[in-house]
Amino acid sequence: MIPTIKEIFSLKAEGQAVTVRGWIRTKRQTKSAVFLEVNDGSCFANIQCVFDQGSPAFQAIAPELEKATTGASASIEGTLVPSPATGQKLEVSARSIQIIGEAPADTYPLQKKAHSLEFLREQAHLRPRTNTFGAVARVRNRMAFAVHQFFQERGFQYVHTPLITASDAEGAGAMFQVTTLDLQKIAQSGTVDYEKDFFGKPAYLTVSGQLNVETYCQAMNRVYTFGPAFRAENSNTTRHLAEFWMIEPEIAFATLEDDIELAKSFITQLVKTALEDCAEDLAFFDARIQPGLVADLQKVVAGSFYRVTYTEAIDALLKSGQEFEFKPYWGCDLQSEHEKFLTEKVVGGPLVVTDYPKDIKAFYMKQNDDGKTVAAMDILVPRFGEIIGGSEREWRLDLLEKRIKDLGLDSNNYWWYIDLRRYGSTPHAGFGLGFERLLLYITGMTNIRDVIPFPRAPKLAGF
């Protein structure tokens, strides 16, 4: 393998011969030279390759340089020399060029001018070649690795939970059904015979790996899962995807306090890693996407998380005098406008909210002694609200069974989950971090469809 542009910048020195392979971002021509900016995605920076029009070899390579248009792939040979241009130490004094794949200027969709994010969403196959999406992809990659590092360093075991399931983990019913039955035939016959379906019963894409990861928690203590989750809620917002990635740790012999501590150090560690290892990309986001981003992230690393109960949060909203589209009251689900108000106007940073009313939370959360609330916690952040949702789990058999019954859920779909409370049950707790929400937070991007390579959302065209 030839060195990447990142490796050339970090490992090679002035005077060394190099071969650059990448995609041409721009071509600029003066009387004396042709300048190509080449990028290969290994780092934010392009490498500038300069072809001297006065050199004896220039006539021979001129026809190839004609084909060097924006988007074309090329292999360029030359020598590293100090760059007089600002912002880069080295450039390539180029000797030869070979165009590997042309990108005709009259049809290539990504020409030099800045494209809107909306336009680029329709060019999902080409958008990784832009500054913005290259930077998002590198941060996403680093954060995925950092997730594993964080848990592995703390003795957590990585568990692969299934994507196909019979149980609705959140009890909210927003699931995609998985079937091999012919819908057309069912429509004609008017009946569904699940005996004939692939699994012999209704099956769905999972909304969360939590219930399955709890089984391993009750055998191995510290575990986590990191995989895709699917939600068929018709939320056409900048914060929701139909297919997203979630990280869900689960810890045994643990309380809500342990859970909150783990979640806070997890977020802090991820932000710290991004600041340290993705500095070039974050500088771009700070300059072009979200002014003040880096300073805000630095504050997260240095500071503490504010914490309130749900009841205190509702009080603060009611006393604020702020007009909300959705009027808050005790018992309401916090809307994104409420979450934004609390994090941006009241505390100016991340906020942990605990002890939500049981009626707005999932069946598995541990009931508090007041009979009204559950040992739940959400972490909210400025700009979009909820980034983490978690809780202590109801580990007492009778209370869990009663809750499932009261909510009208079919206990047959949760028999093994209930069994965990029958045999060797322990207090335990966990949370879910939406990976794309984390990336919105760290990159300052504003639409969740721009922080996953191939977004899936209701009626979204392009796949």
Binding site for ligand 4AD (CB under 6 A): 169-170, 208, 210, 231, 240-241, 244, 246, 248, 386-391, 430-432, 434, 436-437
Least CB distance to ligand 4AD at residue 202 (A): 20
Measured distance CA(362)–CA(310) in Å, rounded: 16
Residue 63 burial (C-beta neighbours within 10 Å; 0-12, 13-18, 19+): exposed
Nearest residue to Mg ion, scored by beta-carbon proximity: 389
The residue (of 227 and 430) whose beta carbon lies closer to ligand 4AD is 430
Measured distance CA(396)–CA(367) in Å, rounded: 10
User: Which of ligand 4AD, Mg ion, none has residue 241 at its interface (CB below 5 to 8 Å by kind)?
Assistant: ligand 4AD
The amino acid present at 259, given as its one-letter code, is: D
The residue (of 328 and 389) whose beta carbon lies closer to Mg ion is 389
Task: Read off φ and ψ for residue 309, nearest 5 degrees.
Answer: -85, 165
Residue matched to tokens 């340290």: 276
Least CB distance to ligand 4AD at residue 199 (A): 22
The residue (of 71 and 389) whose beta carbon lies closer to Mg ion is 389
Q: 336 Cβ partners below 8 Å, 6+ apart?
A: 237, 239, 384, 385, 386
The residue (of 61 and 375) whose beta carbon lies closer to ligand 4AD is 375
The residue (of 112 and 340) whose beta carbon lies closer to ligand 4AD is 340
Q: Using the rule CB under 5 A, give the single segment among 89-97, 181-189, 387-395, 412-420 that binds Mg ion.
A: 387-395
Closest CA to 207 of 170, 162, 249: 170
Paired sense of beta strands 223-230 and 243-252, if any: antiparallel
CB 4 within 8 A of CB 67: no
Least CB distance to ligand 4AD at residue 432 (A): 3
Measured distance CA(48)–CA(55) in Å, rounded: 18
Q: Using the rule CB under 5 A, give the single segment among 296-304, 362-370, 384-392, 420-428 that binds Mg ion.
A: 384-392
Least CB distance to Mg ion at residue 388 (A): 8
CA 15 to chain centre: 41
DSSP line for 327-390: ---TTSPPPHHHHHIIIIIIISS-EEEE--BGGGS-TTBPBPTTSSBBSEEEEEETTTEEEEEE
User: Which of ligand 4AD, Mg ion, none has residue 208 at its interface (CB below 5 to 8 Å by kind)?
Assistant: ligand 4AD
The residue (of 389 and 444) whose beta carbon lies closer to Mg ion is 389
Q: What kind and span of H or E run contains 140?
A: helix 131-153
Angle at 267 between CA 169 and CA 153, to 5 degrees: 90
Least CB distance to ligand 4AD at residue 236 (A): 11
Least CB distance to ligand 4AD at residue 388 (A): 5
Instruction: Answer yes or no whether residue 389 interacts with Mg ion by CB under 5 A.
Output: yes
The residue (of 156 and 284) whose beta carbon lies closer to ligand 4AD is 156
Least CB distance to Mg ion at residue 261 (A): 19
The residue (of 129 and 361) whose beta carbon lies closer to ligand 4AD is 361
Q: What radius of gyration do the chain's Cα atoms show? A: 27
Least CB distance to Mg ion at residue 439 (A): 17
Contact residues toward Mg ion (CB under 5 A) are 389
